[in-house]
């Protein structure tokens, strides 16, 4: 059964609108088709090789996405030391509010140190620096780094220094590191198996000097009762 003519084809034939393409155009089309056929059938060019540019592009995109994701996480997740610095600052500020600076008010380390017995699972070293112009004024319990800690209170003129002490995870000694949070200065280090964090509104140089004197006293004197 013969196929019916498409109405548009019939109209074109009727009106004499069908024209042969120019020879140059026909030649270019035929040449392009032959080149495409040759590339598809070229020896040694496997489908994997043909797809390699696409795979490389996908790999580069994936690497870029992974880098961007890692950068986003690093901006969203604060380093542990930054989190602890904020927590120490918060504890220092809270101690200055109301009347919770000291649970045991005494300048005698032989009174302050035994007070912690039975309240903590460690015995914090307690030294008095009164001869350095930094007298001990008491101590209290606090909570930092997911555990109860000792807070020793010192006075430097009209300034308060809170010294937070708790066992170091690995006990490896470290040198003092200074930081600043919301206008308060901090200095922390590890010594004698303990972590020490000092916080105060003393200027950074004076707080570093306090830490140095304390470290020297811990190294040369018996901080026990």
Q: State yes or no: pLDDT of 111 exceeds 80.
A: yes
CATH number at residue 148: 3.30.200.100
Which of 76, 105, 124 is the C-terminal boundary of a domain? Answer: 76
Asked whether residue 1 is assigned to any structural domain, the reply reads no
**Using 50, 70 and 90 to split pLDDT, how confident is the model at 66?**
low
**Residues 103, 125: one domain?**
yes
- Range of the structural domain that residue 169 is part of: 80-220
**Residues 123, 71: one domain?**
no
Query: What confidence tens digit (pLDDT) does each residue in 152-211 have?
Result: 999 999 999 999 999 999 889 999 999 999 999 999 999 999 999 999 999 999 999 999
Which of 60, 76, 92 is the C-terminal boundary of a domain? Answer: 76
Write the Ramachandran bin of 211: left for phi over 0, alpha for psi from -120 to 50, otherwise beta: alpha
Length of the chain: 225
Asked whether residue 2 is assigned to any structural domain, the reply reads no
How many CA atoms are closer than 13 Å to the CA of 49, on its beta-carbon side?
Answer: 8
Pairwise CA distance, residues 42 & 146, whole Å: 68
User: Which residues, in sequence order, are CB contacts of 212 under 8 Å at separation 6+?
Assistant: 176
**Residues 60, 111: one domain?**
no
Pairwise CA distance, residues 64 & 16, whole Å: 59
Its pTM stands at 0.66
**Residues 26, 92: one domain?**
no
What own/partner pairs with CB < 8 Å and gap ≥ 24 does 107-111 have? 107/135, 107/136, 107/137, 107/138, 108/136, 109/136, 109/223, 109/225, 110/225
Pairwise CA distance, residues 87 & 151, whole Å: 13
**Residues 93, 108: one domain?**
yes
3-state secondary structure of 137: strand
């Amino acid at each position: 059964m013969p196929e019916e003519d498409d109405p548009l084809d019939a109209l074109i034939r009727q009106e004499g609108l069908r024209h042969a393409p120019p020879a140059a155009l026909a030649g270019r089309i035929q040449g392009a088709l032959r080149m495409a056929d040759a590339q598809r059938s070229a020896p040694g060019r496997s489908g994997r090789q043909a797809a390699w540019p696409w795979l490389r592009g996908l790999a580069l995109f994936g690497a870029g996405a992974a880098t961007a994701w890692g950068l986003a996480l690093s901006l969203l997740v604060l380093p542990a030391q930054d989190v602890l610095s904020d927590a120490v600052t918060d504890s220092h500020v809270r101690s200055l509010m109301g009347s919770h600076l000291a649970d045991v008010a005494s300048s005698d380390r032989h009174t302050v140190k035994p007070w912690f017995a039975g309240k903590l699972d460690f015995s914090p070293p307690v030294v008095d620096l009164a001869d350095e112009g930094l007298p001990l004024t008491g101590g209290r319990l606090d909570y930092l780094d997911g555990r109860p800690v000792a807070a020793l209170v010192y006075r430097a003129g009209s300034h308060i220094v809170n010294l937070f002490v708790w066992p170091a995870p690995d006990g490896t000694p470290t040198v003092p590191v200074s930081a600043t949070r919301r206008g308060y200065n901090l200095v922390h280090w590890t010594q004698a198996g303990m972590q020490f964090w000092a916080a105060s509104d003393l200027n950074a140089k004076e707080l570093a000097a306090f830490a140095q004197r304390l470290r020297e006293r811990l190294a040369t004197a018996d901080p026990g009762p």
